Amino acid sequence: MQAIGLLEPIEPSVDVVSHDASPRPRFVRSADLVSRNVAGETVVVPICRGVGDLDAIFTFNGVGTHLWVLLAEGRSEAELSEFVAQRFAISAEQAQADVRSFLADLQEAGLVQTV
């Protein structure tokens, strides 16, 4: 089982409001997977030919779970970074670095795609 995680939450959630009007790639979840929240963490199983690929199960911690929910709607890296910075009270630079790394891991695993 692989874990893709970030930080632990420290305050209630914050709505994501984009201040970025320029067209940027948006990231969305891949359609070929199943995800469930289990005990506060998200478990993601890719589907291959109608069957779950149990050799490639992914888990996300609290921050990853929040981002995963946002990715259901399709979000830009900037929107996700802004959410992390506000929600978890970290610098914008640290949030951007963490989100960029998280998205790269998701893309490498085939869990998200850009639109």
> Cα(19)–Cα(41) distance, rounded to whole angstroms?
29
Q: What are phi and psi of 36, to 5 degrees?
A: -145, 150
Predicted confidence (pLDDT) at residue 45 exceeds the cutoff of 80: yes
The model's pLDDT over 1-31, given as tens digits with 9 standing for 90+, comes to 455 554 343 333 445 545 555 568 999 999 8
Task: Catalogue all structural domains in the chain, each as residue range(s) with its CATH number.
Answer: 30-114 (1.10.10)
- Specify the pLDDT at position 50: 54
- Specify the pLDDT at position 10: 33
- Helices then strands, counting H and E runs in the chain, come out as 3, 8
> Is the pTM above the cut of 0.85?
no
| Nearest-5° Cα angle at 24, 72 to 82 | 65
